[in-house]
Chains A and B, each alone.
Chain A
Amino acid sequence: MTDSAVKVTFAPPTVDENPALLRELVSHLRQNRTKLREEWVRRISVFELLTAMTKEEIFAEATSVYDSYVLALETGTLEALQAYARNLSERIIPRGVETHEVVGIVLLLRDVLARSLFAKYHADFAPLNRILDAYEPAANRIAITVAVGFVQERERVIREQQEAIRELSTPVLQVRERLLILPIIGLIDPARARQLTEQLLRGIRTNRAKVVVIDITGVAAMDANVANHLVLTVESARLLGATVIVTGLSPEIAQTLVNIGVDLGKMTTVGDLQGGIEEAERLLGYKVLPMRETEAV
């Protein structure tokens, strides 16, 4: 899945009208590459950005960013820059680099390049104006592309971490053959509820469970939506051939279920987890047998 391209509509599309100007701009930036890149790295250090990285790393990245920047200006396309921004983000996010640093260094580069244009064309206002007309919208598009790329990557990482936490915090335990226990603790939001259900149904299939005990002792409150989802979960499990026992139902949650129209008589509930396990074992036909007896269940 690729993320959709960022659309920026505020910049007037004048760049394409001046291919000659653009070539002039690009060649100026390429000729002065070494000097401008050094100036940029100097400023990055003055403004104390990218402190999580070493001087060598900053220099290496600065070279890549500079060249990608100029290439983006030259070709007018942002794909290569987007790919680079994503790649760069993947590398530096684990290092603890923050959004304001990434936005900061891109803006610093923009400033350094703009200043060099002022320096070159200071004698004549008209060509300066024209070249800025070519430079500014393109530079702004680039800044946004890199910043957005970084932010999107960060959001993706955060989502993955959240998903992992959710998975960890809700283990589906196989306690005996054909018996699963799903202890739920804490707040359940719709996303977590969905994930719980998926985990449970997958668990029923993998473990060929016939009874599932869902313990909600640790759940303080449940809104109508989540309560409804619990009912959906119980009914889905039944379609997979598993009986669900809900344990630890507080009076408040029982009331919520009744309010949304659930017939508690149809749902198997037991007061506490221990009782639920015993009921499950009874359903599964587990008996404590004296040593000599055998019995087909």
Chain B
Amino acid sequence: MEVPILKQGAYLIASIQAALSDTDLLHFRDVLMKSVGQYRARGVIVDVAALDVMDSFGTRVLGDIARMISLRGAKTVIVGIQPEVALTMVQMGLTLGAVETTLDLEEGLAYLDANTKPAAER
């Protein structure tokens, strides 16, 4: 199953569907990294609103994605974590570390607007 990745200006927006297998998730990671390089994206939004379960594997991969993206000088925002999923993650002790998380896409874009500057202005 492919995860659709959209380009919006200097940002990439990816929406993960619910029943993604482990292999699909890793494949998504690879495709996303390639896309970040290909489009020289400043920011990446990963929308997980459709995920009804986030376990240690999913958390780890998302964390890896964010770290790899930051190595390329871009920022990642995870958006749309469901309340029950958030509670479960926290209860399990799973953490996304320093990765920014926002309520939804709109907030995610606002964050990227405020926190990423075009290369020329850096």
Contacts and interface: CB of A to CB of B under 8 A. Distances in A.
B103 A241 contact: yes
Interface in A237-261: 237-242
A204 B87 CA distance: 13
Contact of B103 (A205, A235, A236): A205
Interface in A214-241: 232, 235-241
A208 interface: yes
Interface in A243-297: none
Contacts of B103: 204-205, 208, 240-242
B82 to A, nearest CB: 9
**B81, B83, B89, B96: which has the most chain A beta carbons within 10 Å?**
B83
Contacts of B102: 241
Interface string B84-100: 00110111000010000
A112 interface: no
A197 interface: yes
Contact of A232 (B83, B90, B96, B101): B90
Size bin of chain B's contact surface: 10 to 19
A177 B33 CA distance: 36
Contacts, number: 42
A261 to B, nearest CB: 12
B107 interface: yes
Chain A interface size band reads 10 to 19
A235 B90 contact: yes
Contacts of A238: 101
Contacts of B96: 239
Given A239-B81, A240-B83, A240-B86, A232 B107 contact: no
A156 B108 CA distance: 43
A236 B107 contact: no
Contacts of A202: 83
Contacts of A239: 81, 86, 89-90, 96, 101
Contacts of B107: 208, 210, 241
Interface of B: 79, 81, 83, 86-87, 89-91, 96, 101-104, 107
7 contacts: A204-B83, A208-B104, A208-B107, A236-B86, A241-B79, A241-B101, A242-B103
